[in-house]
Structure 1
């Protein structure tokens, strides 16, 4: 007897695999990625009233991972307007468990106020300071102790050196089967002149940090199925699954 649910899931796997081999589709997606980043496309969206500054495709990918993993804790470096931590907190609220820990070197007062006033703040904690100091890691550890499922999202300073330091410091918090998601790896795939007046660019960005990290760490792999599924994303090769 046929199982329609299994058949649908198997078809989805094959469609995603085919995306990765579809040259025309990948070229179209690349063109959109370049032009949409130039147009600050990600600035157009909010979640529950707060600017999220993410692509909807990546938001959906995060929703799928959070529903699958059901983390007890999500650690995110980089708070900005707070849209992402509120988004994750709202998903955990639907699941019925879990907390979000946001870290930022400078939590601006107007953003902090809006986050603290938000109904999802009940699942959020925030720490101010540099994410790559041992002092900050020591402050994070008590939040992660005893948690069965922990995810990490890196979305702060996008230089190679900073992201590599975050990877080395925060990867140990990630539980087997969960993910560390490195945001804005797309920088490596954008034109050299795309990011004026930034400290990062081609050859110095989150993707180059991911490649360096993976050279010396086989606990994680790039989940290429997510890349093939999304195609339009600011995190290509940035969805790292802990496999051991």
Structure 2
């Protein structure tokens, strides 16, 4: 089933009307161009740094946060693996959804979990659903720990949002996408780097056009037919940091 089919609404008429409207966005070039232009302007102004989840900063576009909670509600995962913890807002979003669902845990992985962020996350009422792992998400020992936790879990969901270079994201996909259960997702954030204007300059960042999460996805997908890019998510959001980044396991 597609993302749209896994998130049914209360009444069939409403569901079908919404499905048709979202499908029309796929070919609405004017609307999509506006969304792309707005996203670039938002990045320049650090718009995505304005938000929080249950008291912790969450560096995400609000539209992506909406997609995350819808996907979690649809998949009902036993385990959510997240690379990139930062201030902790994203892992708390995942933990709060799992708390509402009544089961599941979150593994948050970051190469540098600052002491004040760790303290705040571990003191949070939802800390019981969160385990933090400090280290590179592609280091052998970290990958081994994650696979040990994932063993035996029937439903696994993955969010990749750490180092955004092609090489690193490709290594993360090779390490973690195989843990994703059929019907669930591996969501790769910040693929929009590839779509920024040619003259956009990244300050103190190693990634850019030709070297980013989207280029890693394009390479990885060539040899992984068990996944598909679910563009129904992108068509629903239009403004997202993850175009081509919602990967659904189909086999």
Kept after mapping to 2: 8 A contact 1:101/1:125: yes
2:111 is aligned with 1:105: yes
1:7 to 10, 13, 29: 13
Aligned partner of 2:5 in structure 1 is none
Which ranges of structure 2 fall in alignment gaps of 5 or more residues? Answer: 1-9
> Which residue of structure 1 lines up, in the alignment, with residue 35 of structure 2?
29
Per the alignment, residue 83 of structure 2 pairs with 77
Runs of 4+ in 1 over 2 A off after TM superposition: 191-194
Contact persistence 1:222–1:241 (CA under 8 A) = yes
| Aligned-residue CA RMSD (Å) | 1.0
Tell me if structure 2 keeps the 8 A contact 1:38–1:194: no
For 1:68 and 1:184, how far apart are their aligned partners in 2?
23
TM-score normalised according to structure 1 size:
0.97
- Unmatched tracts of structure 1, length 5 or more: none
In structure 2, the partner of 1:50 is: 56
What's the CA shift for 1:23? 1.4
**Equivalent residue in structure 1 for 2:222, among 201, 215, 219:** 215
1:59, distance to aligned residue in structure 2 (A): 0.6
Give the secondary-structure state (helix, strand or coil) at the position aligned to 1:146.
coil
Residue number among 218, 232, 239 corresponding to 2:239 in the alignment? 232
1:180, distance to aligned residue in structure 2 (A): 0.3
Residue 149 of structure 1: aligned partner: 155
Distance in structure 1 (CA, Å) of the matches to 2:192 and 2:106: 25
Match for residue 201 of structure 1? 208
SS of 2:11's partner is helix
1:67 corresponds to which residue?
73
Q: Measure, in 2, the Cα distance between the counterparts of 1:167 and 1:141.
A: 13
Question: Cα offset for 1:194?
Answer: 3.4
SS of residue paired to 1:65: helix
- The secondary structure found in structure 2 opposite 1:153 is strand
DSSP 3-state at the match of 1:152 = strand
Distance across 1 between alignment mates of 2:231 and 2:208? 23
TM superposition shift of 1:161: 0.2
SS at 2:240's partner residue?
A: coil
**Quick one: distance in 1 between partners of 2:121 and 2:237?**
29
Structure 2 length normalisation: TM-score? Answer: 0.94
Deviation of 1:196 after TM superposition, in Å, equals 2.3
